[in-house]
Structure 1
Amino acid sequence: MLQQKPPRRCEGTAMSAIILDLRPGLGIGPFSLGMRISEAFAQIEQQPKIYDVVHVKYYNEEPLKMDIVISFPDHGFHLCFDPWSQRLRLIEIYDVKRLQMRYSTSLIGGPATLATFIAVYALFGPTYPGVYDGERGFYTLFYPGLSFAFPIPSQYTECCHNGGVELPLEFPDGTTPVTCRVSIYDSSSGKKVGVGSLMDKASAPPLPVGSIYMEEVHVKLGEELYFTVGTQLIPFGASPQDVWTELGRPCGIHQKQVDQMVIHSASDLRPRTTVCGDYFYNYFTRGLDILFDGQTHKIKKFVLHTNYPGHSDFNSYVKCNFVIYGSDSVGGSFQEVHNNKQRAITTSTKWDHVKEILGGCGRAAIQTQGYGSNPFGSTLVYGYQNIAFEVMKNGYIATITLFQS
């Protein structure tokens, strides 16, 4: 089912329409096509008085099957993010009367400026005839990176001849339809995107050459991480200086609390309130934490995050696009690795398939951060040699922790 975060305030409070710059094929206001979901949230947090009612919607049971949607009900538009890459692929203004848009020096939409067919045509200029969807009763007019959907009353469907409408569109009674939806999408693919079934054709623009976002991180269990775009190699036992040299300055550094799992060790008599000397380097923009031993200052653990909605750490980290190979592939050549993708474990792999690849394991440990700070409930942690999986209730992996047994 669809899940959403609670709004910041009651929706009944009236607000005046805001004005956002419309950039066909690029975005609207501070939101740009291709931006990461974390960047969108950062923009929202910078303007809490404007975006004070925000809904985050996603398909909890199968989070990769439907968009992650950030919706602004007060302003009548939402942002659709590709569920795998978590990049903005489509912007839709679904209540044009709530949002006033500025294109060049002119305004359109909002409660005072109706976005009629005539007004759209006058502002954006001539274009090719659009597409009429008889089943939905919509006529969609396309411009590069931009489309307008107009509802056609049943008594005027005869105005749509052979799927097209002569421009500018006017009904026999002299009226003109008012757009009910505006879509903004990347036009570089050359595909027409509008409403209904055409929505799924919209995709985020290509990443810049050399971008490290969503780069594959190859995991060699018990040995190292390999970053495929920058070709950095980070082995267990590396020093903080080594990591700085390869990955740059960490986003944060914090001291690790005593591992709660030490209670299961009868030989460890330290009080559980003890703070150990180990410390983390946090690379939030890479979806990665690195744990150093407080005595030797060598890497002892890596924690990689998938950034799925429905987990307490959602939006704290960028998604780490890791690839782990089964025990019969670990240590193989690069070509052997790519020839054995059926045994690869990635961010998209569900827990049942992990068990098929790695075999069964013992009972799971329950991990929770407390229901006050974590409304999504507990997760389960399963351990294998050199790796532990934190698994969400829907069977998807939330984090993996890498260590040397």
Structure 2
Amino acid sequence: MYSALDIDLKPGYGFGIFEIGTSLWTLLDTLRRHPAAYPQIDIKYDPDTSATTPIIVHIRPHLDLLFSGKHQRLHTICIRKLRDPNPPVTVQYKDSILCSPNDILRRVGVAKVFGPTYPGDELRYPGIWFSFDEDILGEGLKVSHPGDRMQEVKRIVISQIEPEGSEDALDEVTECPTMVGDLARAVIKVHDGVALYFYPKIDSNPLHIRIGETTSQDLTLDLGPPLRVHYKDDERMQIHAAAKVTEAEDGAGTGYFYNYFQYGMDFLMSETTHVVKKIILHTNVPGSPLFQRYKRCNWEIEGEPEDDEDDAPPRKRFSDRFETISHFLSPHEPPPSMTLDRTADEDSLNLPNPITHLHGYDGIILEATNLSQVVSVVLF
């Protein structure tokens, strides 16, 4: 028996843990920690363009959550099957019960609580609307006349309050309080590091993380303690080194990782000097082996300005295809690639396309899928 679903509507904002603007990573991580309350979850996306197209999270049987394609933020909440008893649903707004296992939500009930609105096939109010259609209209299904005050509400949709005429399910979520403190974007400068910009954007001065300069103490002070510290013990890439470099010559030891899953970043630290050696940024592409381990990092690679007065140097973003970014980094022939199977050590993980390709450039490595989606960037 599933626990009952109690929904306290907040038009334009959501309800409970389902807040407009919440990141995909944060919400899925929360749901994963409550398997008894949310036992059945499906994730739907376009496998050909999963890095940039919207994602739907379906929590059976009542909730459909639409996340924006680029920033992976909760854009729209759809509450449906209000009379399905598995589990039973109770919906309220402020102090009024709209529907419960014993009460059916009808047009007249919505009007009593929310008041008048413009005519149409649905009852639309700022940040919320009520639909009288089933999700799928079957042949011969009888639909009540729009003027019928006893029409039964079949779906409740919550979205961000936007100016009239600008509602579009494919739009990105406008900056809202839920995002405060989250990473807005990361600007990569090869051979230097990254500049991190946080919400709220209006007050955001970039935080610079520099390779060979920023220390573990700096990271802890600026970003907080990492969610995990992982000591590097995988040296399989050493076989590709042109010449063996001893630990003493390297001057850094094996090293350890600071994992900031909530920002979509890892930092490889020197074991002896405790400064940043490498920076890894993750794109959180659905269907890729590392999906949902990291929040999406909205990264962009900055090129050299054309002159000293160039305030807008060229940039390539995570949403660009691998070929575009590769030509940006190296206009000549792309470098040879190595294949990587991240599922090789995980027998229980079965993905249709587990293989990615590592492409090395001067100071930067791109990890790309067969569909030309860049899933991670390594700076060194």
TM-score (normalised: structure 2): 0.82
How far, CA to CA, are the matches of 1:154 and 1:192 in structure 2?
31
From 222, 226, 231, give the equivalent of 2:191.
222
Q: Tell me the secondary structure at the aligned position of residue 257 of structure 1.
A: coil
Instruction: Return the letter of the residue paired with 1:80.
Output: L
Partner of 1:288: 265
- The total of aligned residue pairs comes to 352
Matched, 1:300 2:273: no
Partner of 2:53: 66
Q: Tell me the secondary structure at the aligned position of residue 108 of structure 2.
A: helix
How far, CA to CA, are the matches of 1:307 and 1:361 in structure 2?
24
Partner of 2:341: 368
Give the superposition deviation at 1:33: 0.9
Q: Note the residue ranges of structure 1 that are not aligned, 5 or more in a row.
A: 1-13, 132-138, 171-175, 271-275
Partner of 1:241: 217
Q: Note the residue ranges of structure 2 that are not aligned, 5 or more in a row.
A: 135-139, 198-203, 247-252
Identity %: 24
How far, CA to CA, are the matches of 2:28 and 2:141 in structure 1?
41
How far, CA to CA, are the matches of 1:234 and 1:17 in structure 2?
46
Q: 1:30 to 1:143 in 2, by over 3 A?
A: same
How far, CA to CA, are the matches of 1:210 and 1:393 in structure 2?
32
Q: Tell me the secondary structure at the aligned position of residue 366 of structure 1.
A: strand
How far, CA to CA, are the matches of 1:212 and 1:151 in structure 2?
39
How far, CA to CA, are the matches of 1:209 and 1:88 in structure 2?
10
Matched, 1:22 2:22: no
Partner of 1:353: 324
From 224, 227, 232, give the equivalent of 1:256.
232
Matched, 1:128 2:117: yes
Instruction: Return the letter of the residue paired with 1:94.
Output: R
How far, CA to CA, are the matches of 2:92 and 2:179 in structure 1?
34
Instruction: Return the letter of the residue paired with 2:321.
Output: K
Q: Tell me the secondary structure at the aligned position of residue 208 of structure 2.
A: strand
Deviations 1:361-381 (A, max 9, x none): 232111112252543312111
The question of whether the paired residues in 2 share the 8 Å contact of 1:58 and 1:309 is answered with: yes
Partner of 2:310: 336
TM-score (normalised: structure 1): 0.77
Partner of 1:92: 78
Give the superposition deviation at 1:108: 3.3
Q: 1:216 to 1:204 in 2, by over 3 A?
A: closer
Give the superposition deviation at 1:210: 9.4
Instruction: Return the letter of the residue paired with 1:128.
Output: T
Give the superposition deviation at 1:90: 0.5
Q: 1:269 to 1:323 in 2, by over 3 A?
A: closer
The question of whether the paired residues in 2 share the 8 Å contact of 1:214 and 1:319 is answered with: no
From 147, 157, 164, give the equivalent of 2:129.
147
Q: 1:156 to 1:255 in 2, by over 3 A?
A: closer
Q: 1:80 to 1:300 in 2, by over 3 A?
A: same
Give the superposition deviation at 1:250: 2.4
The question of whether the paired residues in 1 share the 8 Å contact of 2:76 and 2:169 is answered with: no
Q: 1:397 to 1:117 in 2, by over 3 A?
A: same
Give the superposition deviation at 1:207: 3.2
How far, CA to CA, are the matches of 2:142 and 2:268 in structure 1?
68
Matched, 1:206 2:175: yes
Q: 1:365 to 1:50 in 2, by over 3 A?
A: same
Deviations 1:240-263 (A, max 9, x none): 233334433322211112332112
Partner of 2:201: none
Q: 1:214 to 1:338 in 2, by over 3 A?
A: farther
Q: 1:296 to 1:65 in 2, by over 3 A?
A: closer
From 33, 36, 46, give the equivalent of 1:49.
36
Q: Tell me the secondary structure at the aligned position of residue 309 of structure 1.
A: coil
Cα RMSD between the aligned structures?
Answer: 3.0
How far, CA to CA, are the matches of 2:96 and 2:261 in structure 1?
40
Deviations 1:74-118 (A, max 9, x none): 3x2111111211111110013222333122344334553222212
Instruction: Return the letter of the residue paired with 1:226.
Output: A
How far, CA to CA, are the matches of 1:142 and 1:282 in structure 2?
44
Partner of 1:108: 98
Q: 1:154 to 1:365 in 2, by over 3 A?
A: closer
